[in-house]
């Protein structure tokens, strides 16, 4: 774990090293993924069966080996303990309500020149959702990906998920039942992403692929962007907690570990103006790690990538550091977080106040927990209904409208050396 202070002579240099650090896939991953995608495109289902046997120890021998049925999902939902079933239902309800408010409105109007203008929003026909099944099998992620697609109006929802040794996560199946998923295929990894993009004899292609995965899944989505739409290229999870000394150090330590336990390459950063509090949080992190079932992962993440930054004044110095880091998750555990919120230009999602742990946002708050990582919050946003929709603009002119704006169009076409463009307008002006 690295400790910095704004009073250090080399603070700026060390801070920039943290900002510029990359914890993501290297060129070796890219090469492996390129080969996998090429094989899936050329060999289709045979390649999927081979990779699934090799990586998941599961044979896709008969047709029924490939798909998890809707009936299996319904049975998984019915078999849940009532508290878990209620928790999933509450999460689904809140996620749905939040995303329904994101639905865009169509536009249709005439401007001052009499030109009819507007746009129509429509959902994509099919969406592919990747659900991890190795280190992480998260029903919450399925809900966060599937529900916005359903709200958008997508007709076909396709899930791909690895089932090591044939084992599937019943919570994931229950979440698929709640979300109304149409197909669940027992395949994972870069090969599953390739199958969704290219299509095979068994699996029809989709238009958009979303969902978290390991470095190979993320790289496959990156390489296939353009063949299909994607939500984002997601890297290791990260949390930035801004906390003053009035907080309980146990709370803040738990918040930091909530992301460290995801993956050894996850990153947890604390910014505080209290040296004593910083030391207390560090101590509580070390105590709490030992009690976690995810201790090995959390320890490596904290030791290799954890950071504590001590500033002189949170209100004056933290915003600039926050915006440089552009973190996936930002907690503002300070007296008046609303005052700082307008200064935050780059963050995936912001959690306001001492009683708002990031973990609530992962499950039941409502906003999507699929968020930009690796400083991509500078230019991208979390998953939304719009990721499953596209906008088609339209234009309508009558004689008066083309007379008003046509000459300018023709003049610009001539200036660009495109006489056919100009003529197509000028003939109508005559």
Each residue of 254-273: pLDDT tens digit? 999 999 999 899 999 999 99
Count of H helices and E strands in the chain?
18, 15
pLDDT the model gives residue 214: 87
| pLDDT given at position 27 | 65
Q: What is the mean pLDDT of residues 333-361?
A: 97
* pLDDT over 70 (residue 296): yes
> What does the pLDDT average to over 414-425?
98
Confidence of residue 419 (pLDDT cuts 50, 70, 90): very high
Q: Which two tokens stand for residue 284?
A: 């509580």
- What residue spans define the domains of the chain? 2-23+235-365, 27-106+122-230, 397-429
Which uninterrupted H or E stretch holds 299?
helix 295-305
From the list 2, 61, 75, the residue with the least C-alpha distance to 282 is 2
- pLDDT over 70 percentage in the chain: 98
pLDDT value of position 342: 97
298 pLDDT higher than 70: yes
Contact 96, 151 (CB under 8 A): yes
Find the catalytic residue in 238, 280, 282, 328.
Answer: 328
* Residue of 157, 163, 196, 161 whose CA lies nearest to 177: 157
Please report the pLDDT score of residue 7 as a whole number: 95
Token pair for residue 282?
A: 């560090």
Return the pLDDT at 136: 60
In this prediction, residue 234 carries a pLDDT of 84
| Higher per-residue confidence, 250 vs 28 | 250
Q: Is the pLDDT of residue 134 over 60?
A: no
206: its two tokens: 């989709």
- What pTM was estimated for this model as a whole? 0.93
Quick: pLDDT tens for 387-402: 999 999 999 999 999 9
Catalytic residue among 177, 262, 305, 329: 329
Q: Residues 305, 308, 314, 317: is their CA dihedral positive or negative?
A: negative
Reported as a single tens digit per residue, the pLDDT across 9-20 is 999 999 999 999
> What pLDDT, on a 0 to 100 scale, did the predictor assign at position 133?
80
pLDDT attached to residue 135: 52
* 8 A C-beta contact, residue 217 and residue 193: yes
| pLDDT greater at residue 22 or residue 392 | 392
Per-residue pLDDT band at 26 (split at 50, 70, 90): low
138-187 residue pLDDT tens = 899 999 999 999 999 999 999 999 999 999 999 999 999 999 999 999 99
The predicted model gives 3-7 an average pLDDT of 95
Q: For domain 27-106+122-230, give the CATH number.
A: 3.40.50.1980
Pseudo-torsion of CA 212, 217, 223, 225, nearest 10°?
-30
The model's pLDDT over 352-392, given as tens digits with 9 standing for 90+, comes to 999 999 999 999 999 999 999 999 999 999 999 999 999 99
Active site (annotated) includes residue 328: yes
pLDDT digits (tens, 9 = 90+) for 98-128: 999 999 999 999 999 999 999 999 999 999 9
421 is catalytic: no
In this predicted structure, the answer to whether residue 88 has a pLDDT above a threshold of 70 is yes
Homologous superfamily of domain range 2-23+235-365 = Nitrogenase molybdenum iron protein domain (3.40.50.1980)
Q: Give me the pLDDT at residue 364, please.
A: 97
Answer yes or no: are the C-beta atoms of 240 and 158 closer than 8 Å.
Answer: no
How far apart are the two ends of the chain, measured CA to CA in Å?
75
Tens digit of each residue's pLDDT (9 = 90 or more) over 36-75:
999 999 999 999 999 999 999 999 988 889 999 999 999 9
């Amino acid at each position: 774990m690295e400790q910095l202070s704004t009073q250090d002579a080399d603070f700026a240099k060390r801070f920039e090293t943290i900002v510029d650090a990359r914890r993501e896939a290297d060129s070796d991953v890219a090469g492996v993924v390129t080969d996998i995608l090429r094989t899936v495109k050329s060999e289709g289902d045979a390649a999927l069966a081979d990779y699934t046997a090799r990586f998941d120890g599961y044979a896709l021998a008969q047709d029924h080996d490939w798909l998890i049925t809707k009936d299996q999902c319904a049975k998984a939902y019915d078999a849940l303990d009532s508290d878990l079933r209620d928790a999933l239902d509450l999460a689904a309800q809140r996620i749905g309500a939040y995303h329904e408010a994101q639905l865009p409105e169509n536009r249709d109007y005439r401007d001052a020149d009499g030109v009819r203008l507007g746009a129509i929003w429509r959902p994509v026909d099919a969406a592919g959702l990747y659900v991890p099944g190795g280190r992480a099998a998260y029903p919450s992620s399925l809900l966060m990906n599937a529900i916005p697609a359903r709200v958008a109006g997508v007709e076909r929802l396709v899930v791909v998920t690895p089932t090591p040794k044939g084992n599937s996560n019943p919570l994931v199946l229950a979440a698929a039942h709640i979300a109304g998923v149409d197909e669940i295929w027992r395949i994972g990894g870069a090969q599953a992403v390739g199958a969704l993009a290219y299509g095979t004899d068994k699996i029809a292609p989709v238009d958009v692929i979303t969902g978290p995965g390991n470095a190979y899944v993320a790289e496959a989505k990156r390489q296939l962007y353009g063949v299909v739409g994607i939500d984002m290229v997601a890297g290791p999870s990260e949390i930035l907690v801004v906390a003053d000394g009035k907080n309980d150090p146990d709370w803040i330590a738990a918040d930091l570990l909530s992301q460290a336990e995801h993956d050894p390459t996850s990153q947890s950063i604390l910014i505080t103006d209290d040296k004593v509090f910083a030391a207390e949080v560090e101590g509580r992190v070390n105590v709490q790690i030992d009690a976690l079932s995810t201790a090995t992962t959390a320890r490596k993440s904290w030791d290799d990538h954890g950071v504590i930054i001590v500033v002189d004044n949170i209100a004056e110095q933290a915003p600039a550091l926050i915006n440089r880091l552009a973190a996936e998750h930002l907690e503002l555990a300070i007296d008046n977080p609303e005052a700082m919120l307008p200064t935050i230009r780059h963050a995936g999602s912001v959690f306001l106040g001492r009683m708002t742990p990031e973990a609530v946002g992962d499950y039941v708050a409502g906003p999507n927990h699929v968020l930009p990582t690796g400083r991509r919050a500078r230019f991208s946003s979390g998953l939304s209904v719009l990721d499953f929709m596209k906008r088609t603009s339209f234009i309508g002119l009558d004689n008066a409208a083309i007379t008003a704006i046509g000459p300018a169009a023709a003049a610009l076409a001539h200036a660009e050396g495109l006489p056919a463009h100009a003529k197509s307008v000028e003939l109508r002006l005559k």
